[in-house]
Amino acid sequence: MNTTTKNANRRLQPGTQVVFKTDGEPGRVVEVSTFRRNGIDAWSYLIETAYGREIWDAGDLFVPEQD
């Protein structure tokens, strides 16, 4: 399966650093919150932020490049 930009965030591992697209808030993936119908890909994630835990849709976040 080719990973495209559209679905690149559907299989993130716990601990992955992510950023919310709308406001630039950083966080880390804790676990998948909701799976897509295939039972493998994520629809949303539980994210640990500086303000606590939040649920973010996979399409609303991006993974910054790691040096």
**What are the residue ranges spanned by the domains of the chain?**
8-62
CATH architecture assignment, domain 8-62: Roll (2.30)
Q: Is the dihedral of CA 49, 54, 58, 59 positive or negative?
A: negative
Q: What global pTM score does this model have?
A: 0.86
> Of all residues in the chain, what percent are helix, strand and coil, respectively (each to 5)?
10, 45, 45
Q: How do the pLDDT tens digits run along the chain, 67 residues long?
A: 444 556 789 999 999 999 999 999 999 999 999 999 999 999 999 999 999 999 999 999 999 987 6
